[in-house]
Chain A
Amino acid sequence: MNRSFLFFSLFFIHGSFLTLYAQEKLKKKIDLQEVMVDGKRYKNAMEGPLSVNYIHIDSLQKFQGGSLMQTLSRIPGVGSIGIGASQSKPQIRGLGFNRVITVENGVKHEGQQWGLDHGLEIDQYSVGSAEIIKGATSFMYGSDAIGGVIRLSSLKETQEDGLKGSLNLIAKSNNSTLGSSVQFIGKEGKFVFGGGLTHLNYGDYRVPTDTVYVYNYAVGLKDNYVRNTAGRETDFQLKGGYVTEKFSSIFYLSSYDTKIGFFANAHGLEPRGVNTALYDKSNRDILYPSQKVNHFKVINRNYIEKDDQKIWIDIGYQRNNRKEFNHYVAHGYMPAIFPDNMGIPEDLERLYDKDIYSINVKDQFTKGSHQITLGGSGEIQHNNIGGWGFLIPEYRQRSAGAFVHDQYSIDKNTILYAALRYDYNHNQSKAYRDWFESETADGAKEKILRADNISRTFNSLVWGLGVARQFGDIETKFNVGKSFRNPATQEFASNGVNYHYYSYDIGNKNLSPEQSYQADLSIGWRRETADITLTPFYNYFSNYIYLNPTSRFDQFHGAGNQIFEYSESKVRRFGGEINANFRLTKNWKLALLGEYVKSKQLSGAKKGYTLPFSPAPSVLIGLDWSPKISQYLNSTYFAIDCKWTAEQNNIVPPEDKSASYTLFNFRAGTDLKLNSSVVQLRFQIQNLLDTKYMDHTSFYRLIALPEQGRNIVLSARVPFGKN
């Protein structure tokens, strides 16, 4: 009821817009590349010597997946750690979690990146453009930017006065998604404004199997539905500001709100008994376990140009509130019955609540052939926890960084880049004691101290050196740099049991910031009918921090679970991507995309093993036909992607090997001319053959749950307002 009401009211609101702004003249050409690897755009920027992929909203719509990272994962080198059909975490060249950062409108997005089953809290329909910067990017963004950066921007303001926008209607077959999103931007003199509203409502997703084997326990899936994975998402954005040629100040306000269920037959690795009569009653209800996440953000972006100085100041406030709900189940030494004097709801297993204040300042000026950028950043985080489960302690974190970047043009075709950055970080974590008594070695009972008051300060100095040079049609870029990541709180302070993973995780107080050295090369050859870009890289970590499963159990502190210790090891990684596009004839295009990454631990307890969540190599061949059909149907295309992913036999405990698979995706679309308006229709069949496969980097891989089956995605974008 509710859903269809919203759906139609959105349609109705839009209808009134339509009559007001019905003079839509939409011109759109299909570029040779869906994803631009255009160096010129970044020639005079700090990203100059790095490989950058630029993705416009049109491509985002065309390739629309269940979540933003699934949409972006067609780009070679970009992957996602999927959590079901609607959530995912970013991964670049096999690095994810706290080793990749997401920046939205100039401010680093801070959620709960460390968590296995925490998705990226961003509304994909609000994104105007995305840039993927691969390589050592700590010199720009400080800690965590080891693997690279996903940089997202809102829709750009219009050049002329007026309002324009679009209504996006979305339907997906696999999990019966119904959704709509209105986005608009406008300008009135020097004032700009904009906003958006997105609502998605989806049911349980389906996999091409009726039985999943959680260990030997055969879980029957009713009509192939992955029990209890339905969800809702409601997001809004508002934007307003003042823009002149030499000054601008824009405020962005956004809220992301979602409630999603987790697969009910397994929580983590733990098989769960399920009352199937209750759970199979509806495919759209959300029972236990589930999560509720809200991410609220206010950003103020400022730009000031004075004489030859350009100054950027970005200020942000974010709040991330995450709740995980589940039936109380006594594990280990927990009391069999949940005490009623706890002051915690019985179904609140975990709560994470964090506030983040951040500021970034950049000043750019020219001195002779040098373009110099000075910058600084600061961030304060308050992290609170709640619920009866414990994984990470409360902590407060302060960090500050300063950098200098010099860009020197040797001649018209050659530019050198150099950067130096210093970062300071202070982390104060708060002691946490169990609320229940455990048995101790001497037979006594005690509430165990799970985390101590720990105060740690980290200092890091990183650098980057790069060159970009054009040789006729060939563009080359080379960059070497050092990146770093401060140990996350759970890595140095945790001492808790993750019952759903049968692990007792022990932090290491003495960990120092992770150091990574990376060399990146990019060779691009571009003609009107073809382009080929090769981007190999080599990466060395002198101390990669990871959670090492040991051969021991702990009877008392660990409640009988296997000890997992945060450890450091030397790691070597290398790989690369190929991104090639050919215009075969006027109407036919061919794309060849490939990615490869190999990691190896060179020291420590897991010497010889790879890193967890290593993506398997893959090759994608895409064929695209854009015929001219009629004057009422513009920019029509039919396309098919065939993606072959190799098996992943390089594993590390507790992973399983994953078999190779081939997936077909079909796409079609057209811009339908209706009176004076244009409706953009987009159609996709993802996993065309309903192939049953395991994605090695998926959260549910460990319990052998296959990925989403065939999914028909239909979306219609109805633009309104001035163009």
Chain B
Amino acid sequence: MNRISRSLLMLFFLTSVIACKKENERIDEEKPKIDLTAESAFPKQCSQIKRGESFNFQMHLSDNVALGSYSIDVHNNFDHHSHSTEVEECTLDPIKRPVKPFSIVKTMDIPGQPKDYVAQLKIDVPLDIDPGNYHFMVQVTDQSGWSTQRGISIRITE
């Protein structure tokens, strides 16, 4: 009887000891960053883009350890259902039905697992697409799988 109780107590203390063991493995707890404040960053919240021309997407991405990849997605927001992630509100046109809305999805690997990277893409906006309110989504990941999203409101003009 006493043996059982003693071994049970031992087990209890053993679990407590395991529970208290300090472990110092470093794990990455920081998300990557998308910098929209840099002078050269484009588009920014409420930026205007002319259809029939091309523009340069440019954004400074950074991470505390190593960047992974990034992705952009442009979609119409003619029905006002999407919202940007940004502080500033942009003027919205009245709700309208899309006829030939512009859309683009593009994903890119960031080579060499750097801590800093300037993402650059040349994007053509065809002349025959619907002008109006659009949503420009940028996502970036780091090597640990952390991700950051920024949804920017832009306007495509005639």
Residue pair B75, A217 in contact (C-beta under 8 Å): no
Residue pair A555, B79 in contact (C-beta under 8 Å): no
Tell me which residues from 473 to 488 in chain A have a Cβ below 8 Å from any Cβ of chain B: 476, 478
Cα distance, A534 to B8, chains bound together (Å): 12
Cα distance, A550 to B109, chains bound together (Å): 12
Residue pair A534, B5 in contact (C-beta under 8 Å): no
Task: Encode contact with B along A531-550: 1 for CB under 8 Å, 0 otherwise.
Answer: 00010111000000000111
CB distance from A577 to the nearest CB of B (A): 13
Residue pair A549, B145 in contact (C-beta under 8 Å): yes
Cα distance, A329 to B137, chains bound together (Å): 15
Cα distance, A267 to B71, chains bound together (Å): 20
Kindly state whether residue A332 has any CB partner on chain B within 8 Å.
yes
Tell me whether A551 and B141 are in contact in the complex, defined as CB-CB below 8 angstroms, given that A271-B84, A336-B98, A478-B8 are known contacts: yes
Tell me whether A653 and B27 are in contact in the complex, defined as CB-CB below 8 angstroms, given that A217-B87, A273-B81 are known contacts: no
Residue pair B145, A550 in contact (C-beta under 8 Å): yes
Residue pair A605, B145 in contact (C-beta under 8 Å): yes
Please give, as numbers and ranges, the residues of chain A lying within 8 Å of B87 by CB-CB distance: 216-218
Please give, as numbers and ranges, the residues of chain B lying within 8 Å of A605 by CB-CB distance: 145
Q: Which residue of B68, B75, B144 is within 8 Å of A552 (Cβ)? A: B68
Kindly state whether residue B136 has any CB partner on chain A within 8 Å.
no
Tell me which residues from 65 to 89 in chain B have a Cβ below 8 Å from any Cβ of chain A: 68-73, 75-77, 79-87
Residue pair B11, A478 in contact (C-beta under 8 Å): yes
Kindly state whether residue B122 has any CB partner on chain A within 8 Å.
no
Residue pair B8, A523 in contact (C-beta under 8 Å): yes
Q: Which residue of A217, A439, A574, A657 is within 8 Å of B15 (Cβ)? A: A574
Pick out which of these stretches binds chain B: A155-163, A557-565, A671-679: A557-565
CB distance from A656 to the nearest CB of B (A): 9
Residue pair A327, B15 in contact (C-beta under 8 Å): no
Please give, as numbers and ranges, the residues of chain A lying within 8 Å of B68 by CB-CB distance: 550-552
Please give, as numbers and ranges, the residues of chain A lying within 8 Å of B144 by CB-CB distance: 551, 606, 653
Starting from the known contacts A553-B141, A596-B19, A653-B147, 15 additional A-B residue pairs (CB-CB under 8 Å) come to A271-B82, A272-B81, A331-B75, A336-B76, A469-B1, A471-B5, A478-B8, A534-B12, A537-B15, A551-B142, A552-B68, A562-B147, A574-B15, A576-B15, A605-B145
Kindly state whether residue A622 has any CB partner on chain B within 8 Å.
no
Q: Which residue of B5, B19, B86, B101 is within 8 Å of A217 (Cβ)? A: B86
Query: Chain B: how many interface residues by the 8 Å CB criterion?
Result: 52
Please give, as numbers and ranges, the residues of chain A lying within 8 Å of B29 by CB-CB distance: 651, 657
Residue pair A327, B79 in contact (C-beta under 8 Å): yes
CB distance from B29 to the nearest CB of A (A): 6
Kindly state whether residue A304 has any CB partner on chain B within 8 Å.
no
Kindly state whether residue A609 has any CB partner on chain B within 8 Å.
yes
Cα distance, A331 to B73, chains bound together (Å): 9
Tell me whether A551 and B8 are in contact in the complex, defined as CB-CB below 8 angstroms, given that A273-B83, A329-B81 are known contacts: no
Cα distance, A553 to B107, chains bound together (Å): 6
CB distance from A619 to the nearest CB of B (A): 16
Main secondary structure of the interface of A (DSSP, over half): strand
Residue pair A552, B19 in contact (C-beta under 8 Å): no
Q: 4 closest Cβ contacts across the A-B interface?
A: A551-B68, A215-B85, A553-B107, A549-B145
Q: Which of B81, B84, B145 has the most CB of A within 10 A?
A: B145
Residue pair B25, A608 in contact (C-beta under 8 Å): yes
Tell me which residues from 94 to 149 in chain B have a Cβ below 8 Å from any Cβ of chain A: 97-98, 101, 103, 105-107, 109, 139, 141-147, 149
Cα distance, A218 to B87, chains bound together (Å): 6
Please give, as numbers and ranges, the residues of chain B lying within 8 Å of A271 by CB-CB distance: 82-85, 151
Cα distance, A606 to B143, chains bound together (Å): 11
Residue pair A273, B145 in contact (C-beta under 8 Å): no
26 contacts between A and B (CB under 8 A): A216-B85, A216-B86, A217-B83, A270-B82, A271-B85, A273-B83, A330-B76, A333-B105, A336-B101, A467-B4, A476-B8, A502-B139, A521-B12, A523-B8, A536-B16, A538-B15, A551-B68, A551-B141, A553-B71, A560-B105, A560-B106, A561-B71, A561-B139, A562-B139, A562-B145, A654-B145
Q: Which residue of A330, A552, A576, A609 is within 8 Å of B141 (Cβ)? A: A552
CB distance from B85 to the nearest CB of A (A): 3
Kindly state whether residue A446 has any CB partner on chain B within 8 Å.
no
Residue pair B73, A560 in contact (C-beta under 8 Å): yes
Please give, as numbers and ranges, the residues of chain B lying within 8 Å of A391 by CB-CB distance: none
Kindly state whether residue A32 has any CB partner on chain B within 8 Å.
no
Tell me which residues from 427 to 445 in chain A have a Cβ below 8 Å from any Cβ of chain B: 439
Please give, as numbers and ranges, the residues of chain A lying within 8 Å of B15 by CB-CB distance: 521, 536-538, 574, 576
Q: Which residue of A329, A502, A576, A606 is within 8 Å of B82 (Cβ)? A: A329
Residue pair A217, B139 in contact (C-beta under 8 Å): no
Kindly state whether residue B60 has any CB partner on chain A within 8 Å.
no
Residue pair A538, B18 in contact (C-beta under 8 Å): yes
Kindly state whether residue A337 has any CB partner on chain B within 8 Å.
yes
Residue pair A536, B12 in contact (C-beta under 8 Å): yes
Closest-by-CB residue of A relative to B7 is A478
Residue pair A523, B12 in contact (C-beta under 8 Å): yes
CB distance from B60 to the nearest CB of A (A): 17
Residue pair B85, A559 in contact (C-beta under 8 Å): no
Q: Which of A217, A414, A439 has the most CB of B within 10 A?
A: A217
Residue pair B81, A553 in contact (C-beta under 8 Å): no
Residue pair B149, A553 in contact (C-beta under 8 Å): no
Residue pair A471, B85 in contact (C-beta under 8 Å): no
Q: Which residue of B19, B82, B101 is within 8 Å of A574 (Cβ)? A: B19
Task: Encode contact with B along A240-280: 1 for CB under 8 Å, 0 otherwise.
Answer: 00000000000000000000000001000111111100000
CB distance from B26 to the nearest CB of A (A): 8
Closest-by-CB residue of A relative to B15 is A536
Kindly state whether residue A575 has any CB partner on chain B within 8 Å.
yes
Kindly state whether residue A598 has any CB partner on chain B within 8 Å.
yes
Kindly state whether residue A214 has any CB partner on chain B within 8 Å.
yes
Tell me whether A575 and B19 are in contact in the complex, defined as CB-CB below 8 angstroms, given that A217-B83, A327-B81, A562-B71 are known contacts: yes
Kindly state whether residue A223 has any CB partner on chain B within 8 Å.
no
Please give, as numbers and ranges, the residues of chain A lying within 8 Å of B98 by CB-CB distance: 336-337
Cα distance, A552 to B70, chains bound together (Å): 8
Residue pair B146, A654 in contact (C-beta under 8 Å): yes
Please give, as numbers and ranges, the residues of chain B lying within 8 Å of A270 by CB-CB distance: 82
Please give, as numbers and ranges, the residues of chain A lying within 8 Å of B149 by CB-CB distance: 215, 269, 502
Q: Which residue of B5, B77, B84, B106 is within 8 Å of A476 (Cβ)? A: B5
